[in-house]
């Protein structure tokens, strides 16, 4: 039995995917799915839902591959697709935002620092435990690097709502971390 090995060189793989080569498309999915799933998991709580979002994101990526002009930009492009598909999932399946008070941006804590010794896994667990609206805005702002006006446009909310959600997410995370710190003593 002869094993067919697909090239791992991205431009060739992408070109074969664009031409409809099913084996290349499978290799594409196998290569990029883990990173895209990690993005989906930051937004969507359950693994099953994140996998559903991932499948939709991969299908959209393969469908829109001809729109991608520069091969160097494949990872950020795929990450954006995964984030947008996650947001669509949340929008259609859940009531995202909790009751809000407007928060002046000057009132929001300027930074968020995890205590020394906190594992990335534990911080991810704390972020995943946030209410959906807080978690989405926190991920978009702190991890993806969007500003409040971009978040507002993406989520069809007011920029003040985005600032408020971020402020409340940070406050809740800091409270949870303080509680953990006290338990560790």
Number of domains the chain contains: 2
Closest by alpha carbon to 178, among 124, 118, 138, 109?
118
Residues 66-114 have pLDDT tens digits of 887 766 678 889 999 999 999 989 887 765 454 444 333 333 344 444 4
Residues 44-58: b if buried by 16+ CB within 10 A, e if exposed: bbeeebbebbbebbb
Check whether residue 136 and residue 88 sit in a common domain: no
Check whether residue 166 and residue 115 sit in a common domain: yes
Question: What CATH number is given to the structural domain containing 165?
Answer: 1.10.10.10
Task: Decide if 158 is inside a domain.
Answer: yes
Statement: residue 154 has pLDDT above 70: yes
- Tokens in use for 34? 């883990």
| CA 151 – CA 162 distance, rounded (Å) | 7
- The boundaries of the domain holding residue 67 are 10-93
Task: Decide if 44 is inside a domain.
Answer: yes
Check whether residue 14 and residue 88 sit in a common domain: yes
Q: Supply φ then ψ for residue 94, to 5 degrees.
A: -140, 160
Q: Is the dihedral of CA 17, 20, 23, 29 positive or negative?
A: positive
Q: Which of 72, 93, 114 is the last residue of a domain?
A: 93
Task: Decide if 149 is inside a domain.
Answer: yes
Arithmetic mean of pLDDT, 12-34: 93
Task: Decide if 30 is inside a domain.
Answer: yes
Check whether residue 138 and residue 86 sit in a common domain: no
């Amino acid at each position: 039995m002869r094993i067919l090995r697909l090239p791992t060189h991205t431009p060739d793989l992408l070109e074969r995917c664009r031409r409809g080569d099913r084996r290349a498309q499978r290799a594409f999915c196998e290569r990029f799915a883990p990173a895209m799933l990690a993005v989906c998991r930051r937004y969507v709580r359950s693994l099953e839902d994140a996998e559903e979002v991932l499948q939709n994101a991969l299908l959209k990526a393969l469908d829109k591959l001809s729109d991608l002009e520069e091969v160097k930009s494949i990872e950020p492009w795929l990450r954006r697709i995964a984030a947008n598909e996650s947001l669509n999932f949340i929008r259609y399946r859940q009531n995202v935002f909790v009751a809000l008070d407007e928060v002046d941006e000057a009132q929001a804590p300027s930074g968020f620092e995890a205590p020394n010794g906190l594992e990335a896994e534990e911080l991810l667990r704390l972020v995943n435990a946030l209410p959906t609206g807080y978690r989405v805005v926190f991920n978009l702002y702190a991890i993806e690097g969007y500003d409040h006006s971009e978040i507002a446009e993406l989520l069809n909310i007011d920029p003040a709502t985005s600032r408020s959600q971020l402020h409340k997410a940070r406050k809740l995370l800091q409270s949870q971390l303080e509680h953990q710190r006290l338990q560790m003593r």
